[in-house]
Amino acid sequence: MLKQYYIPLLLSFLAGLATVIGGFVTFIIKKDDFRALSLGLGFSAGVMIFLSFTDLLNNALKLLEPHYPNTYTWLVYVGFIVGVVVAFSIDYFIPDHVDESEFTKNKENVSEHRGVKRAGLITAIAIAIHNFPEGLATFFVTTQDVTLGLTVAIAIGLHNIPEGIAVALPIYNATGKKRTAILYAFLSGIAEPIGAVLGFCLIHIFLPQMLVGFLLASVAGIMVYISFDTLLPLSHKYGDWHLSIIGVMSGIVFIWPTLLLINH
């Protein structure tokens, strides 16, 4: 019985570990070359938005219709809104951006070293909290469709890489220790599998299977909000809107035929 949850938990864990990749990238990437990062963020947003409005919401409708034939469409709508509200609430109370001036202070002053390190710590905490619902998203989607869950995990993993960079860069600049920087990048990503474990508890212990459709709709809301609120602005920040749009359209053009081939 429990074996069916191994893959969802594993995918959530791997998606979270992508922040560690970002930690390593920090030490080799050229600070003035973020075009590939901009394209990657846009690509991830395109994949997540497309999946949300096609597969996730459609699967939510299919799961809820047998149990709520008269209200299932409204339940999916409400579920989507709940996901948006949850993502917005996390964003409102735990902002995912810190003052960039913290990253650029003169490194010769010890107190300013501490300021840079503090910025990294705050970023790590913020990203960890933001990764929590992403772990839930990956887990719930994978329990319904492993292939779709793999696609979601890849999309989330791609945008976790720059999050790892955002954590590791100030820590490394402040301490000069690569291991410490990678450790904090890892800790910020581990919240994702923790979210997956919570999802397992909800499904296996507390949650009626018929309500998984409602949660899938909520996951779609979370993913759409993350895409528009975080991924696209960051994509623009690291490149320009042309690169962002090219990334978004590339993600859609890539994932659409992939799903067609898989489903047929």
Task: Determine the Cα–Cα distance for residues 175 and 166; give it in Å rounded to an integer.
Answer: 15
Average of pLDDT values for 88-100? 62
Q: How far apart are alpha carbons 224 and 217 in whole angstroms?
A: 11
In whole angstroms, give the CA distance from residue 43 to residue 55: 17
Sign of CA dihedral 71, 86, 253, 24: negative
Confidence of residue 103 (pLDDT cuts 50, 70, 90): very low
Residues 209-226 have pLDDT tens digits of 567 778 888 888 888 888
b/e burial code for range 93-110 (CB count within 10 A of at least 16 → b): eeebebeeebbebeeeee
For tokens 């659409």, name the residue: 256
Which pLDDT does position 204 carry in this prediction?
A: 65
Q: Given this model, what pLDDT does residue 249 score?
A: 93
Domain boundaries, the chain: 19-263
The candidate with the shortest Cα–Cα distance to 144, out of 26, 67, 57, 249, is 57
Q: Please list, in sequence order, all residues whose beta carbon lies within 8 angstroms of the beta carbon of residue 91, skipping any fewer than 6 positions away.
A: 130, 225, 229
- Cα(18)–Cα(148) distance, rounded to whole angstroms? 18
| Position 32 pLDDT exceeds 60 | no
Query: Which of 91-105, 133-147, 164-178 is predicted with the least confidence, judged by mean pLDDT?
Result: 91-105
